A and B are shown apart, each in its own frame.
Chain A
């Protein structure tokens, strides 16, 4: 990790995942500055804070049907700042979905599950 206080944005409409991930990352490295967002739209409104990395859920419309999905938010983030690394999260074990997110600029695609927390930490560590 090059930065002492990297800012991490977590975008997920499931509060359990966001809270567990926040706790895990802070437990691994107290220097993280973490902000969580329940929708992609809320994340986009805070992009002026220039996060060092974004952890973005693929399905962001399970709670709000009309909310933008992760792939649209990924495209918008990349449009605003191509250099920001984005980790995509999903429960889908699908090469097609993973390939699609990588094609749009995600640095990594991680499947949600018990092993995801450490994987996310490792990817963040390698990218900030």
Chain B
């Protein structure tokens, strides 16, 4: 679910830098999901799309491919006005994000 190959290469396996980048991600991702939940409840589809869009590269850097795919689906669902699929997509994304945060924390402890 989490593949740190890119981050290892990017930091040349500098543990401090890896920890710093992971902690920045762990700070941002839950807040973004809280914001997306609010967007969903308020049916603010465009802001939901922007939040999913903004999180995507950060998820990519952390090597969480399954979450990246779900975020892309959310963006597409807004673009194509398939709003009724967003709740399910959000729930799936949140589940992956929560699990990957646990994994990332464990990985950080081992660095």
A interface list, Cβ under 8 A from B: 13-17, 19-20, 23-24, 59, 61-62, 65, 91-92, 112-114, 116-117
10 contacts between A and B (CB under 8 A): A16-B21, A20-B21, A23-B17, A59-B54, A61-B50, A62-B32, A62-B51, A113-B60, A114-B6, A117-B10
> Given A16-B24, A19-B21, A114-B6, A91 and B53 touching (CB < 8 A)?
yes
Q: Is the interface of A mostly helix, strand, loop or mixed?
A: loop
> Does any Cβ of A come within 8 Å of B66's Cβ?
no
Contacting residues, chain B, for A117 (C-beta < 8 A): 10
Contact of A24 among B10, B20, B25 (CB under 8 A): B10
Q: A-B contact count, CB below 8 Å?
A: 50
Which of B24, B25, B50, B60 has a CB less than 8 Å from the CB of A62? Answer: B50
Chain B nearest CB, measured from A114 CB (Å): 5
A92 touches which one: B17, B25, B47, B53 (CB < 8 A)?
B53
Most chain A CB neighbours (cut-off 10 Å) among B21, B24, B51, B57: B57
